[in-house]
Chains A and B, each alone.
Chain A
Amino acid sequence: MKALVWHGAQDIRCDSVPDPRIEDDRDAIIKVTACAICGSDLHLYDHFMPGMEKGDVMGHEFMGEVVETGRGLNGTLRKGERVVIPFIITCGECDQCKRGFFSVCERSNRNGHLAAKAFGHPTAGLFGYTHLTGGYQGGQAEYVRVPMADRTHIKVPDELSDEQVLFLGDIFPTGWQAAVQADIQPTDTVAIWGAGPVGQMAIRSAILLGAKQVVCIDRVPERLEMARAGGAITIDNSTESTVERLNQLTAGKGPEKCIDAVGMEAHAPRALEQAYDRVKQALMLESDRATVLREMIYVCRPAGILSIPGVYGGLVDKIPMGALMNKGLTVRTGQTHVNRWTDDLVKRIADGQIDPSFVITHRGSLEDGPELYKTFRDKKDNCIKVVLRP
Protein backbone atom coordinates (compact mmCIF):
# COMPACT_ATOMS: atom_id res chain seq x y z
CA MET A 1 0.00 0.00 0.00
CA LYS A 2 0.96 3.67 -0.30
CA ALA A 3 1.79 5.65 2.83
CA LEU A 4 3.55 8.85 3.87
CA VAL A 5 6.77 7.71 5.50
CA TRP A 6 9.18 9.65 7.74
CA HIS A 7 12.80 9.48 6.55
CA GLY A 8 14.30 12.32 8.61
CA ALA A 9 13.96 16.03 9.21
CA GLN A 10 11.96 17.64 6.37
CA ASP A 11 12.02 14.35 4.51
CA ILE A 12 8.63 12.69 4.17
CA ARG A 13 8.02 10.47 1.15
CA CYS A 14 5.08 8.66 -0.36
CA ASP A 15 6.40 5.08 -0.29
CA SER A 16 5.09 1.59 -0.88
CA VAL A 17 5.01 -0.27 2.44
CA PRO A 18 3.62 -3.65 3.51
CA ASP A 19 -0.13 -3.78 4.17
CA PRO A 20 -1.03 -3.88 7.86
CA ARG A 21 -2.46 -7.12 9.25
CA ILE A 22 -4.35 -8.19 12.33
CA GLU A 23 -1.82 -8.78 15.14
CA ASP A 24 -4.14 -9.00 18.12
CA ASP A 25 -7.73 -10.09 18.69
CA ARG A 26 -8.72 -6.51 19.51
CA ASP A 27 -7.31 -5.12 16.24
CA ALA A 28 -9.21 -3.84 13.23
CA ILE A 29 -7.95 -2.82 9.82
CA ILE A 30 -9.36 0.41 8.43
CA LYS A 31 -9.35 1.43 4.78
CA VAL A 32 -8.60 5.14 5.03
CA THR A 33 -10.98 7.41 3.12
CA ALA A 34 -9.63 10.74 4.41
CA CYS A 35 -6.75 11.88 6.54
CA ALA A 36 -5.33 15.24 7.55
CA ILE A 37 -1.96 16.77 8.25
CA CYS A 38 -2.04 18.08 11.80
CA GLY A 39 -0.01 20.96 13.18
CA SER A 40 1.63 18.54 15.59
CA ASP A 41 2.83 16.48 12.60
CA LEU A 42 5.04 19.47 11.83
CA HIS A 43 6.95 18.92 15.09
CA LEU A 44 7.92 15.53 13.62
CA TYR A 45 8.52 16.98 10.16
CA ASP A 46 11.00 19.46 11.65
CA HIS A 47 12.30 16.73 14.00
CA PHE A 48 11.65 18.73 17.15
CA MET A 49 10.17 15.62 18.80
CA PRO A 50 12.59 12.80 19.60
CA GLY A 51 11.74 9.15 19.03
CA MET A 52 11.02 8.92 15.30
CA GLU A 53 12.66 6.20 13.22
CA LYS A 54 13.15 5.95 9.49
CA GLY A 55 10.25 4.07 7.97
CA ASP A 56 7.60 5.25 10.44
CA VAL A 57 4.25 5.97 8.82
CA MET A 58 2.94 9.45 9.64
CA GLY A 59 -0.53 10.62 10.55
CA HIS A 60 -2.92 10.59 13.49
CA GLU A 61 -6.02 12.32 12.12
CA PHE A 62 -7.86 9.90 9.84
CA MET A 63 -11.06 8.03 9.17
CA GLY A 64 -12.32 5.25 6.97
CA GLU A 65 -14.17 2.00 6.61
CA VAL A 66 -13.62 -1.17 8.64
CA VAL A 67 -12.39 -3.91 6.31
CA GLU A 68 -11.11 -6.53 8.75
CA THR A 69 -11.75 -7.26 12.41
CA GLY A 70 -10.01 -9.30 15.09
CA ARG A 71 -11.86 -12.04 16.95
CA GLY A 72 -11.97 -10.10 20.20
CA LEU A 73 -14.07 -7.14 19.16
CA ASN A 74 -17.28 -8.81 20.34
CA GLY A 75 -19.48 -7.11 17.80
CA THR A 76 -18.44 -3.58 18.76
CA LEU A 77 -17.15 -2.96 15.25
CA ARG A 78 -18.22 -4.65 12.01
CA LYS A 79 -16.88 -4.77 8.48
CA GLY A 80 -18.23 -1.93 6.39
CA GLU A 81 -18.82 0.45 9.31
CA ARG A 82 -17.65 4.04 8.86
CA VAL A 83 -15.47 5.32 11.69
CA VAL A 84 -13.25 8.21 12.67
CA ILE A 85 -10.23 7.04 14.64
CA PRO A 86 -9.19 9.14 17.64
CA PHE A 87 -5.50 9.98 17.66
CA ILE A 88 -5.08 8.40 21.10
CA ILE A 89 -5.38 4.64 21.55
CA THR A 90 -7.53 3.72 24.54
CA CYS A 91 -7.95 0.36 26.25
CA GLY A 92 -11.15 1.36 28.05
CA GLU A 93 -10.26 -0.88 31.00
CA CYS A 94 -7.50 0.81 33.01
CA ASP A 95 -8.13 3.20 35.92
CA GLN A 96 -7.53 6.30 33.77
CA CYS A 97 -9.83 5.16 30.96
CA LYS A 98 -12.55 4.33 33.50
CA ARG A 99 -12.22 7.91 34.82
CA GLY A 100 -12.51 9.32 31.29
CA PHE A 101 -8.89 10.41 31.11
CA PHE A 102 -8.24 8.50 27.91
CA SER A 103 -5.10 10.38 26.86
CA VAL A 104 -3.26 8.93 29.84
CA CYS A 105 -4.45 5.37 29.25
CA GLU A 106 -2.13 3.10 31.23
CA ARG A 107 -2.09 0.17 28.80
CA SER A 108 -2.17 1.35 25.20
CA ASN A 109 1.44 2.55 24.96
CA ARG A 110 3.51 -0.53 24.25
CA ASN A 111 6.65 1.56 24.81
CA GLY A 112 5.35 2.93 28.08
CA HIS A 113 8.73 2.40 29.73
CA LEU A 114 10.27 4.95 27.33
CA ALA A 115 7.53 7.49 28.04
CA ALA A 116 7.98 6.84 31.76
CA LYS A 117 11.67 7.69 31.48
CA ALA A 118 10.84 11.00 29.82
CA PHE A 119 7.68 11.95 31.72
CA GLY A 120 7.76 9.90 34.95
CA HIS A 121 4.79 7.78 33.91
CA PRO A 122 3.56 6.27 30.66
CA THR A 123 0.93 8.09 28.61
CA ALA A 124 -1.43 6.71 25.98
CA GLY A 125 -0.30 5.18 22.72
CA LEU A 126 -0.72 7.47 19.73
CA PHE A 127 -0.86 6.78 16.00
CA GLY A 128 2.15 7.85 13.97
CA TYR A 129 3.70 9.92 16.73
CA THR A 130 7.14 8.64 17.77
CA HIS A 131 8.21 5.49 19.56
CA LEU A 132 7.75 7.24 22.91
CA THR A 133 4.03 6.84 22.32
CA GLY A 134 4.15 3.25 21.13
CA GLY A 135 5.59 3.50 17.63
CA TYR A 136 2.22 2.66 16.06
CA GLN A 137 1.99 3.20 12.32
CA GLY A 138 -0.02 6.26 11.35
CA GLY A 139 -3.05 6.96 9.21
CA GLN A 140 -1.60 8.88 6.28
CA ALA A 141 -1.84 5.63 4.38
CA GLU A 142 -4.28 3.51 2.43
CA TYR A 143 -4.81 1.13 5.36
CA VAL A 144 -4.16 1.29 9.11
CA ARG A 145 -4.12 -1.26 11.89
CA VAL A 146 -6.13 0.08 14.82
CA PRO A 147 -5.18 -1.59 18.13
CA MET A 148 -7.83 -1.90 20.86
CA ALA A 149 -10.30 -1.08 18.11
CA ASP A 150 -13.31 -2.04 20.23
CA ARG A 151 -12.70 1.22 22.16
CA THR A 152 -10.54 3.23 19.77
CA HIS A 153 -13.15 4.44 17.30
CA ILE A 154 -15.93 6.97 16.80
CA LYS A 155 -18.92 5.83 14.75
CA VAL A 156 -20.29 8.58 12.53
CA PRO A 157 -23.68 8.95 10.83
CA ASP A 158 -23.80 8.35 7.07
CA GLU A 159 -25.53 11.67 6.44
CA LEU A 160 -22.45 13.61 7.54
CA SER A 161 -19.64 13.94 4.99
CA ASP A 162 -16.06 12.83 5.62
CA GLU A 163 -14.93 16.44 5.75
CA GLN A 164 -17.52 17.32 8.38
CA VAL A 165 -16.48 14.53 10.76
CA LEU A 166 -12.80 13.91 10.03
CA PHE A 167 -11.61 16.41 12.63
CA LEU A 168 -13.45 14.59 15.42
CA GLY A 169 -10.27 12.50 15.58
CA ASP A 170 -8.13 15.38 16.82
CA ILE A 171 -8.38 19.12 16.25
CA PHE A 172 -12.08 19.60 17.01
CA PRO A 173 -12.11 17.83 20.41
CA THR A 174 -8.67 19.35 21.11
CA GLY A 175 -9.99 22.89 20.64
CA TRP A 176 -13.14 21.89 22.52
CA GLN A 177 -11.29 20.43 25.52
CA ALA A 178 -9.05 23.49 25.62
CA ALA A 179 -12.13 25.70 25.94
CA VAL A 180 -14.04 23.39 28.30
CA GLN A 181 -11.16 23.09 30.75
CA ALA A 182 -10.92 26.91 30.79
CA ASP A 183 -14.35 26.84 32.56
CA ILE A 184 -15.68 29.71 30.44
CA GLN A 185 -18.22 32.03 32.08
CA PRO A 186 -20.62 34.33 30.17
CA THR A 187 -18.62 37.37 31.31
CA ASP A 188 -15.24 36.02 30.29
CA THR A 189 -12.72 37.30 27.81
CA VAL A 190 -10.90 34.31 26.36
CA ALA A 191 -7.54 35.01 24.71
CA ILE A 192 -6.33 32.34 22.30
CA TRP A 193 -2.73 32.34 21.04
CA GLY A 194 -2.45 30.77 17.60
CA ALA A 195 -4.95 30.89 14.73
CA GLY A 196 -3.93 27.55 13.28
CA PRO A 197 -6.44 24.70 13.05
CA VAL A 198 -6.59 24.01 16.81
CA GLY A 199 -6.82 27.73 17.55
CA GLN A 200 -9.68 28.05 15.03
CA MET A 201 -11.53 25.18 16.73
CA ALA A 202 -10.86 26.68 20.16
CA ILE A 203 -12.39 29.99 18.99
CA ARG A 204 -15.59 28.26 17.83
CA SER A 205 -15.68 26.18 21.01
CA ALA A 206 -15.31 29.26 23.21
CA ILE A 207 -18.22 30.88 21.34
CA LEU A 208 -20.40 27.78 21.78
CA LEU A 209 -19.50 27.69 25.48
CA GLY A 210 -20.66 31.28 25.82
CA ALA A 211 -17.59 33.53 26.12
CA LYS A 212 -18.45 37.23 26.09
CA GLN A 213 -15.35 38.10 24.08
CA VAL A 214 -12.87 35.88 22.23
CA VAL A 215 -9.53 37.37 21.21
CA CYS A 216 -7.10 35.58 18.90
CA ILE A 217 -3.40 36.40 18.59
CA ASP A 218 -1.34 35.48 15.52
CA ARG A 219 0.70 37.14 12.79
CA VAL A 220 -0.53 35.37 9.65
CA PRO A 221 -3.16 37.55 7.95
CA GLU A 222 -5.29 34.83 6.36
CA ARG A 223 -5.48 32.96 9.66
CA LEU A 224 -6.55 36.12 11.43
CA GLU A 225 -9.20 36.63 8.73
CA MET A 226 -10.61 33.16 9.42
CA ALA A 227 -10.49 33.83 13.17
CA ARG A 228 -12.53 37.01 12.68
CA ALA A 229 -15.05 35.04 10.62
CA GLY A 230 -15.53 32.78 13.63
CA GLY A 231 -16.34 35.68 15.94
CA ALA A 232 -12.95 36.56 17.37
CA ILE A 233 -11.36 39.96 17.80
CA THR A 234 -7.84 39.62 16.41
CA ILE A 235 -4.42 40.90 17.42
CA ASP A 236 -1.65 40.85 14.81
CA ASN A 237 1.36 40.49 17.08
CA SER A 238 3.72 41.44 14.25
CA THR A 239 2.35 44.98 14.27
CA GLU A 240 0.84 45.56 17.71
CA SER A 241 1.58 44.72 21.33
CA THR A 242 -0.42 41.74 22.55
CA VAL A 243 -0.25 42.83 26.18
CA GLU A 244 -1.35 46.41 25.46
CA ARG A 245 -4.23 45.33 23.24
CA LEU A 246 -5.46 42.68 25.67
CA ASN A 247 -5.37 45.19 28.49
CA GLN A 248 -7.30 47.68 26.32
CA LEU A 249 -9.95 45.07 25.58
CA THR A 250 -10.38 44.17 29.26
CA ALA A 251 -10.24 47.59 30.92
CA GLY A 252 -6.71 46.88 32.09
CA LYS A 253 -7.66 43.70 33.97
CA GLY A 254 -6.44 41.09 31.49
CA PRO A 255 -8.32 38.13 30.04
CA GLU A 256 -9.79 35.67 32.55
CA LYS A 257 -8.94 32.69 30.38
CA CYS A 258 -5.89 32.14 28.17
CA ILE A 259 -5.42 29.28 25.70
CA ASP A 260 -2.05 28.33 24.18
CA ALA A 261 -2.81 26.79 20.78
CA VAL A 262 0.77 27.28 19.59
CA GLY A 263 3.07 25.06 21.65
CA MET A 264 6.75 24.35 21.37
CA GLU A 265 7.66 26.20 18.14
CA ALA A 266 6.33 29.64 19.07
CA HIS A 267 7.86 32.75 17.49
CA ALA A 268 8.55 35.66 19.83
CA PRO A 269 7.69 39.11 18.51
CA ARG A 270 10.66 40.45 20.47
CA ALA A 271 14.02 39.91 18.75
CA LEU A 272 16.00 39.37 21.94
CA GLU A 273 13.63 36.74 23.32
CA GLN A 274 13.47 34.92 19.98
CA ALA A 275 17.26 34.93 19.63
CA TYR A 276 17.64 33.72 23.24
CA ASP A 277 15.34 30.73 22.71
CA ARG A 278 16.74 29.84 19.28
CA VAL A 279 20.30 29.86 20.60
CA LYS A 280 19.36 27.75 23.63
CA GLN A 281 17.56 25.30 21.34
CA ALA A 282 20.53 25.13 18.99
CA LEU A 283 22.83 24.39 21.94
CA MET A 284 20.37 21.73 23.19
CA LEU A 285 19.89 23.62 26.47
CA GLU A 286 16.12 23.65 25.98
CA SER A 287 13.86 21.77 23.60
CA ASP A 288 10.75 23.95 23.46
CA ARG A 289 10.26 27.71 23.09
CA ALA A 290 8.01 28.98 25.89
CA THR A 291 7.18 32.37 24.35
CA VAL A 292 3.40 31.94 24.57
CA LEU A 293 3.48 30.50 28.10
CA ARG A 294 5.47 33.48 29.35
CA GLU A 295 3.10 35.96 27.72
CA MET A 296 -0.02 34.16 29.01
CA ILE A 297 1.26 34.10 32.58
CA TYR A 298 2.09 37.80 32.38
CA VAL A 299 -1.16 39.02 30.86
CA CYS A 300 -3.75 36.67 32.42
CA ARG A 301 -6.05 38.18 35.04
CA PRO A 302 -5.15 37.08 38.59
CA ALA A 303 -7.04 33.91 39.60
CA GLY A 304 -7.47 33.15 35.91
CA ILE A 305 -7.00 29.88 34.05
CA LEU A 306 -4.35 28.91 31.51
CA SER A 307 -5.36 26.09 29.18
CA ILE A 308 -2.60 24.51 27.12
CA PRO A 309 -3.57 22.26 24.20
CA GLY A 310 -0.40 23.29 22.32
CA VAL A 311 2.12 20.46 22.20
CA TYR A 312 5.29 20.59 24.31
CA GLY A 313 7.81 17.76 24.21
CA GLY A 314 10.55 18.42 26.71
CA LEU A 315 12.14 21.26 28.64
CA VAL A 316 11.47 24.99 28.60
CA ASP A 317 13.29 27.87 30.19
CA LYS A 318 12.50 31.18 31.93
CA ILE A 319 8.98 30.39 33.10
CA PRO A 320 7.91 33.23 35.41
CA MET A 321 6.90 31.05 38.34
CA GLY A 322 6.68 34.08 40.62
CA ALA A 323 3.90 35.58 38.51
CA LEU A 324 2.19 32.21 38.09
CA MET A 325 2.16 31.57 41.83
CA ASN A 326 1.42 35.05 43.14
CA LYS A 327 -1.39 35.64 40.63
CA GLY A 328 -2.96 32.35 41.67
CA LEU A 329 -3.28 31.06 38.13
CA THR A 330 -4.61 27.60 37.37
CA VAL A 331 -2.89 25.60 34.62
CA ARG A 332 -4.82 22.88 32.79
CA THR A 333 -3.22 20.96 29.98
CA GLY A 334 -2.86 17.53 28.42
CA GLN A 335 -3.41 15.57 25.27
CA THR A 336 -7.07 15.34 24.37
CA HIS A 337 -9.37 12.74 25.96
CA VAL A 338 -10.98 12.42 22.52
CA ASN A 339 -13.75 9.90 23.19
CA ARG A 340 -14.87 11.82 26.25
CA TRP A 341 -16.22 14.58 24.00
CA THR A 342 -17.05 13.05 20.64
CA ASP A 343 -20.60 11.75 21.24
CA ASP A 344 -21.62 15.29 22.13
CA LEU A 345 -19.66 16.85 19.26
CA VAL A 346 -21.14 14.49 16.65
CA LYS A 347 -24.59 15.65 17.77
CA ARG A 348 -23.57 19.29 17.53
CA ILE A 349 -22.35 18.77 13.96
CA ALA A 350 -25.51 16.86 13.03
CA ASP A 351 -27.64 19.64 14.61
CA GLY A 352 -25.90 22.21 12.44
CA GLN A 353 -24.38 24.08 15.39
CA ILE A 354 -20.95 23.82 13.83
CA ASP A 355 -19.40 22.56 10.61
CA PRO A 356 -15.68 21.88 11.19
CA SER A 357 -14.95 21.60 7.45
CA PHE A 358 -14.67 25.41 7.34
CA VAL A 359 -10.97 25.09 8.17
CA ILE A 360 -9.97 23.02 5.10
CA THR A 361 -7.94 25.06 2.64
CA HIS A 362 -5.97 22.42 0.74
CA ARG A 363 -6.89 19.00 -0.61
CA GLY A 364 -4.73 16.39 -2.29
CA SER A 365 -3.78 12.74 -2.68
CA LEU A 366 -1.19 10.80 -0.70
CA GLU A 367 1.24 11.43 -3.55
CA ASP A 368 0.75 15.17 -2.98
CA GLY A 369 1.52 14.70 0.73
CA PRO A 370 5.25 15.49 0.83
CA GLU A 371 4.76 18.78 -1.01
CA LEU A 372 1.71 19.67 1.06
CA TYR A 373 3.70 19.09 4.27
CA LYS A 374 6.10 21.76 3.07
CA THR A 375 3.30 24.07 1.99
CA PHE A 376 1.63 23.70 5.41
CA ARG A 377 4.87 24.13 7.35
CA ASP A 378 5.80 27.27 5.41
CA LYS A 379 2.21 28.61 5.49
CA LYS A 380 2.47 28.97 1.71
CA ASP A 381 -0.55 29.67 -0.43
CA ASN A 382 -2.63 30.58 2.62
CA CYS A 383 -2.51 27.01 3.84
CA ILE A 384 -4.34 26.39 7.12
CA LYS A 385 -5.51 22.77 6.93
CA VAL A 386 -4.69 19.97 4.52
CA VAL A 387 -6.91 16.95 3.85
CA LEU A 388 -5.58 14.00 1.85
CA ARG A 389 -7.64 11.35 0.07
CA PRO A 390 -5.72 8.08 -0.27
Chain B
Amino acid sequence: MPASPSRPAPSAHPLTSDRRRRPDPTTLQVARGLGWFSLALGVAEVTCGDAIARWLGMPRSGPLVRAYGVREIVQGAGILGSQDPTPWIWARVAGDGLDIATVLPGLADDRHRGNALFALAALGGVTALDVLCAQGLSHAPLNPSEAVRADYGRRSGFPKGVEAMRGVANDVRPMDIIGPEAMRPWTSAA
Protein backbone atom coordinates (compact mmCIF):
# COMPACT_ATOMS: atom_id res chain seq x y z
CA MET B 1 0.00 0.00 0.00
CA PRO B 2 1.56 3.32 -0.96
CA ALA B 3 1.97 5.88 1.77
CA SER B 4 -1.16 7.95 2.02
CA PRO B 5 -0.86 11.72 2.17
CA SER B 6 -3.68 11.78 4.72
CA ARG B 7 -2.02 9.42 7.21
CA PRO B 8 -0.59 11.08 10.29
CA ALA B 9 3.16 10.89 10.23
CA PRO B 10 4.72 9.62 13.45
CA SER B 11 6.40 12.56 15.06
CA ALA B 12 9.31 12.69 17.44
CA HIS B 13 7.74 15.79 18.95
CA PRO B 14 4.10 15.20 19.89
CA LEU B 15 1.70 17.89 18.84
CA THR B 16 0.87 20.04 21.80
CA SER B 17 -1.65 22.70 22.66
CA ASP B 18 -0.92 26.16 23.83
CA ARG B 19 -1.72 26.59 27.52
CA ARG B 20 -4.88 28.66 27.30
CA ARG B 21 -8.17 26.92 28.00
CA ARG B 22 -11.27 27.45 25.93
CA PRO B 23 -14.33 27.01 28.14
CA ASP B 24 -17.71 26.95 26.45
CA PRO B 25 -19.69 30.22 26.62
CA THR B 26 -22.30 28.65 28.90
CA THR B 27 -19.71 27.95 31.59
CA LEU B 28 -18.18 31.40 31.16
CA GLN B 29 -21.63 32.99 31.53
CA VAL B 30 -22.21 31.02 34.73
CA ALA B 31 -18.77 32.07 36.03
CA ARG B 32 -19.52 35.74 35.35
CA GLY B 33 -22.90 35.36 37.05
CA LEU B 34 -21.18 33.90 40.09
CA GLY B 35 -18.74 36.81 40.05
CA TRP B 36 -21.56 39.37 40.22
CA PHE B 37 -23.31 37.26 42.86
CA SER B 38 -20.10 37.28 44.93
CA LEU B 39 -19.84 41.05 44.70
CA ALA B 40 -23.49 41.59 45.68
CA LEU B 41 -23.36 39.13 48.56
CA GLY B 42 -20.06 40.59 49.74
CA VAL B 43 -21.45 44.15 49.81
CA ALA B 44 -24.52 42.91 51.72
CA GLU B 45 -22.37 41.05 54.26
CA VAL B 46 -20.04 44.02 54.81
CA THR B 47 -22.86 46.52 55.24
CA CYS B 48 -25.33 44.32 57.14
CA GLY B 49 -22.97 41.89 58.91
CA ASP B 50 -24.47 42.38 62.37
CA ALA B 51 -28.06 41.94 61.17
CA ILE B 52 -27.19 38.79 59.21
CA ALA B 53 -25.39 37.35 62.25
CA ARG B 54 -28.39 38.03 64.49
CA TRP B 55 -30.76 36.50 61.91
CA LEU B 56 -28.64 33.32 61.99
CA GLY B 57 -28.68 33.22 65.78
CA MET B 58 -25.01 34.20 66.15
CA PRO B 59 -25.23 37.78 67.53
CA ARG B 60 -21.51 38.01 68.32
CA SER B 61 -20.40 36.95 64.85
CA GLY B 62 -20.99 40.27 63.08
CA PRO B 63 -17.25 40.88 62.47
CA LEU B 64 -16.88 37.35 61.06
CA VAL B 65 -19.73 37.91 58.60
CA ARG B 66 -18.16 41.23 57.53
CA ALA B 67 -14.83 39.43 56.99
CA TYR B 68 -16.62 36.87 54.84
CA GLY B 69 -18.09 39.79 52.94
CA VAL B 70 -14.61 41.11 52.17
CA ARG B 71 -13.67 37.62 50.98
CA GLU B 72 -16.69 37.54 48.67
CA ILE B 73 -15.83 40.96 47.21
CA VAL B 74 -12.23 39.88 46.53
CA GLN B 75 -13.43 36.66 44.89
CA GLY B 76 -16.03 38.48 42.81
CA ALA B 77 -13.46 41.00 41.60
CA GLY B 78 -11.08 38.14 40.84
CA ILE B 79 -13.67 36.28 38.78
CA LEU B 80 -14.77 39.33 36.82
CA GLY B 81 -11.32 40.86 36.45
CA SER B 82 -9.11 37.90 35.56
CA GLN B 83 -8.55 36.28 32.17
CA ASP B 84 -8.95 32.82 33.70
CA PRO B 85 -11.59 32.68 36.46
CA THR B 86 -10.90 28.99 37.26
CA PRO B 87 -8.85 29.45 40.47
CA TRP B 88 -11.29 32.09 41.71
CA ILE B 89 -14.27 29.77 41.23
CA TRP B 90 -12.43 27.02 43.11
CA ALA B 91 -11.77 29.61 45.83
CA ARG B 92 -15.53 30.14 45.97
CA VAL B 93 -16.00 26.39 46.49
CA ALA B 94 -13.61 26.53 49.45
CA GLY B 95 -15.45 29.59 50.78
CA ASP B 96 -18.75 27.74 50.48
CA GLY B 97 -17.34 25.03 52.75
CA LEU B 98 -16.35 27.67 55.29
CA ASP B 99 -19.81 29.29 55.12
CA ILE B 100 -21.57 25.95 55.64
CA ALA B 101 -19.33 25.14 58.62
CA THR B 102 -20.14 28.55 60.11
CA VAL B 103 -23.92 28.23 59.70
CA LEU B 104 -24.23 24.59 60.85
CA PRO B 105 -24.12 25.31 64.63
CA GLY B 106 -27.21 27.51 64.14
CA LEU B 107 -29.26 24.31 63.78
CA ALA B 108 -28.85 23.71 67.52
CA ASP B 109 -30.62 27.00 68.32
CA ASP B 110 -34.38 26.30 68.45
CA ARG B 111 -35.36 29.92 67.79
CA HIS B 112 -33.22 30.31 64.67
CA ARG B 113 -33.27 26.76 63.28
CA GLY B 114 -35.57 27.75 60.42
CA ASN B 115 -33.28 30.59 59.35
CA ALA B 116 -30.22 28.33 59.53
CA LEU B 117 -31.97 25.68 57.44
CA PHE B 118 -32.91 28.30 54.85
CA ALA B 119 -29.32 29.56 54.73
CA LEU B 120 -27.94 26.00 54.41
CA ALA B 121 -30.32 25.18 51.57
CA ALA B 122 -29.24 28.31 49.71
CA LEU B 123 -25.58 27.53 50.38
CA GLY B 124 -26.09 23.97 49.12
CA GLY B 125 -27.53 25.21 45.82
CA VAL B 126 -24.79 27.78 45.31
CA THR B 127 -22.10 25.24 46.20
CA ALA B 128 -23.45 22.80 43.60
CA LEU B 129 -23.37 25.55 40.96
CA ASP B 130 -19.84 26.55 42.00
CA VAL B 131 -18.58 22.96 41.78
CA LEU B 132 -20.18 22.39 38.35
CA CYS B 133 -18.76 25.66 37.06
CA ALA B 134 -15.28 24.97 38.47
CA GLN B 135 -15.26 21.50 36.93
CA GLY B 136 -16.44 22.87 33.59
CA LEU B 137 -13.66 25.44 33.58
CA SER B 138 -10.99 22.96 34.68
CA HIS B 139 -11.92 20.38 32.03
CA ALA B 140 -12.25 22.86 29.18
CA PRO B 141 -10.11 21.94 26.19
CA LEU B 142 -6.85 23.72 25.55
CA ASN B 143 -6.45 25.82 22.46
CA PRO B 144 -4.67 24.08 19.59
CA SER B 145 -1.34 25.47 18.52
CA GLU B 146 -0.68 26.58 14.95
CA ALA B 147 1.26 23.35 14.31
CA VAL B 148 -1.75 21.27 15.35
CA ARG B 149 -4.10 23.26 13.15
CA ALA B 150 -1.80 22.78 10.18
CA ASP B 151 -1.43 19.05 10.80
CA TYR B 152 -5.12 18.34 11.39
CA GLY B 153 -6.00 20.50 8.41
CA ARG B 154 -4.19 18.00 6.17
CA ARG B 155 -5.97 14.95 7.54
CA SER B 156 -8.73 14.48 4.99
CA GLY B 157 -8.83 10.68 5.26
CA PHE B 158 -9.17 10.60 1.47
CA PRO B 159 -5.84 9.62 -0.13
CA LYS B 160 -7.23 10.65 -3.54
CA GLY B 161 -8.81 13.90 -2.33
CA VAL B 162 -12.26 14.92 -1.14
CA GLU B 163 -13.89 15.84 -4.45
CA ALA B 164 -12.60 12.72 -6.21
CA MET B 165 -14.38 10.62 -3.60
CA ARG B 166 -17.70 12.49 -3.44
CA GLY B 167 -20.42 10.04 -4.42
CA VAL B 168 -18.24 7.00 -5.18
CA ALA B 169 -20.50 4.95 -2.90
CA ASN B 170 -23.82 6.39 -4.05
CA ASP B 171 -25.06 2.93 -5.02
CA VAL B 172 -25.25 1.81 -1.37
CA ARG B 173 -29.03 1.65 -0.78
CA PRO B 174 -30.01 -1.12 1.65
CA MET B 175 -33.78 -1.02 1.23
CA ASP B 176 -34.51 -2.92 4.45
CA ILE B 177 -32.93 -0.02 6.33
CA ILE B 178 -33.78 3.04 4.25
CA GLY B 179 -37.10 1.78 2.86
CA PRO B 180 -39.89 1.27 2.31
CA GLU B 181 -39.61 2.55 -1.25
CA ALA B 182 -43.15 3.96 -1.08
CA MET B 183 -42.11 6.39 1.67
CA ARG B 184 -38.97 7.72 -0.03
CA PRO B 185 -39.02 11.09 -1.81
CA TRP B 186 -40.31 11.04 -5.40
CA THR B 187 -37.54 13.41 -6.47
CA SER B 188 -34.40 14.85 -4.98
CA ALA B 189 -35.35 18.35 -3.84
CA ALA B 190 -33.41 21.19 -5.41
Contacts and interface: CB of A to CB of B under 8 A. Distances in A.
Contacts of B173: 183
A267 B184 contact: no
Nearest to A253: B189
Nearest to A184: B170
A225 to B, nearest CB: 4
B155 A226 contact: yes
Interface of B: 1-2, 4, 6-8, 10, 14-17, 22, 24-26, 29-30, 128, 132, 139, 141-144, 148-149, 152-160, 162-163, 165-170, 172-174, 176-178, 183-185, 188-190
A98 to B, nearest CB: 12
B151 to A, nearest CB: 9
B81 to A, nearest CB: 21
A352 B159 contact: yes
A238 B24 contact: yes
Contact of A358 (B10, B29, B157, B172): B157
A180 B169 CA distance: 10
Interface centre among A159, A161, A275 (most CB of B within 10 A): A275
Contacts of A160: 1
Contacts of A183: 173, 178, 184
B165 A207 contact: yes
Given A228-B153, A238-B24, A207 B158 contact: yes
A357 interface: yes
**Closest 10 A/B residue pairs (Cβ):** A210-B167, A379-B141, A358-B157, A210-B170, A231-B162, A222-B144, A183-B178, A208-B169, A358-B155, A187-B188
B157 A354 contact: yes
Contacts of A208: 165-169
B90 to A, nearest CB: 16
A246 to B, nearest CB: 16
Contacts of A274: 26
A221 B166 CA distance: 25
A359 B173 CA distance: 26
A229 B154 contact: yes
B86 to A, nearest CB: 13
A162 interface: no
A209 interface: yes
A381 B17 CA distance: 5
A384 B152 CA distance: 10
B139 A378 contact: yes
Interface string A366-390: 0000000000011111101000000
A230 B15 contact: no
Given A210-B167, A356-B157, A358-B157, A271 B30 contact: yes
Given A358-B156, A358-B157, A380-B141, A271 B29 contact: yes
Interface string A202-240: 001101111100000001111001101111000000110
Contact of A380 (B25, B142, B154, B190): B142
A180 B163 CA distance: 19
A230 B30 contact: no
Interface string A156-196: 00011101100000000000000011011111100000000
Given A207-B162, A210-B169, A269-B26, 18 more contacts: A180-B177, A180-B178, A183-B173, A185-B188, A209-B172, A210-B170, A211-B166, A222-B152, A225-B152, A225-B153, A230-B156, A303-B185, A350-B1, A353-B158, A360-B8, A361-B15, A377-B139, A379-B141
